[in-house]
Each structure stands twice: as C-alpha cells, then as structure tokens.
A and B are shown apart, each in its own frame.
Chain A
C-alpha cells in the first residue's frame, strides 16, 4: 500500500516563507503532486514532480528527492489567502492511482 506523512498544522505570518514536508512509502512511484483546498471547497492542483529537483510556479515551488522518498512545497511571500489545507499526493502503480496525505492546515497570520 501507500503511506504519506505531512505535518498536520503550520502557522506563519504574512510575507514569510513556509515549507511543508511530505515523506512517502509506495511501490511503483511515478510522481508527487500538491493540492490546495480551502474550507469546504474542491482541491486544486498546484504542482507535480516526477523527477528530482525543484519546480517553480510563481510564489510556489515544489521539490522531490526520489532516493529519499521526500518532497516539499515551498510557499513564498505568504498572503492571507494562502490559509488553506495543503495535500501531497503520490501517483503510483500501473493505474497511476492518486493517493493523498492527510493534509497540512496552513494558517497565515497578519
């Protein structure tokens, strides 16, 4: 089976930088992705890493180390609207099943 671990809560102030880590255990790994979910809303895709290294998309960056089964999401220049839950997800197996972590609740303080 698959298992993912990420912190349950992170708090930071506006303008700061925050890193949300994710470690995973799975077989047939294809890639690691990140999703954002505001309260009661639908998860929305942020980024996907299939290869080792850093992917940058505006204020958000995502990193993957396949050898360490580890990745992180880096959020820069935090804004109040970034307060949300952030989920890492592994794509694995022949079906490329998408399995999510339990989520990290990010609170951005003024």
Chain B
C-alpha cells in the first residue's frame, strides 16, 4: 500500500459525459501528479500541483481540468468524454517539491462507451 488513495477504482460512462476522479496523497506529501495510461502505453504526464498551486502542465486536453484543495487532496475533471479517453488514470504524490520518489495510487480505470 503506497498510502495514495484514488477513487473510484472503476468508472464506466457514456460519451459526452463528465466525470471527476479523486486522489488523496500520502500524509505530508505536498506534490500531486496526474498521469494517463492508455492500453499498452506509457505514462503520459497531465498536470502537477504543489501545495495547492499548479506547478507544471503536460499534454492535458482543454476538456480536462484539475485542482488541489487546501487539505491537499486533488481532483481531475474530465468532460465531454470521448471513446479515446478510456484509460487508466493514475495519481502520484511525493514529498516537498517532488521529482525524487513518487508514490502511485492504484489508479482509476475509466471506460467510455
């Protein structure tokens, strides 16, 4: 158990819908990262937060948004969903400014039908 909690574990939704994925980082970790992993693909960096503020942005679509709350949990919002958005979405956390050891949650498997 990495100490990072992601909910829900599985999500099935229809095209055009909107979903929210939730992540609770390890106690004390200030950095949160979101990644998308499509079938047999690598981990695509979406966005990074540090202590409530956005620190870095990767290839995140405009239909996607995220935030980190004062209690340090983070949410990833995916809207106007398309079939191609079906993937595993991972959240990871790391201490301080991040970049060394990151701890991953078990992921949310999103299926868009």
Residues in A lying within 8 Å of B, measured CB to CB: 30-31, 33, 35, 40-45, 48, 50, 87, 91-93, 95-103
B99–A102 CB distance below 8 A = no
Q: How far is the CB of B74 from chain A (nearest CB, A)?
A: 15
| A–B complex contacts, Cβ < 8 Å, 13 sampled | A31-B99, A40-B88, A41-B106, A42-B107, A50-B100, A91-B99, A95-B50, A95-B98, A96-B100, A97-B48, A97-B58, A100-B43, A101-B42
B35–A100 CB distance below 8 A = yes
- Identify which of residues 73-113 in chain B touch chain A, using a CB-to-CB cut-off of 8 Å: 88, 90, 92, 94, 97-107
A100–B90 CB distance below 8 A = no
Could you say which residues of chain A place their CB within 8 Å of the CB of B102? 33, 35, 45, 98
Contact of B55 among A44, A92, A95, A102 (CB under 8 A): A95
Contact of B98 among A43, A44, A96, A100 (CB under 8 A): A96
A87–B99 CB distance below 8 A = no
In the complex, A50 Cα to B107 Cα: how many Å?
28
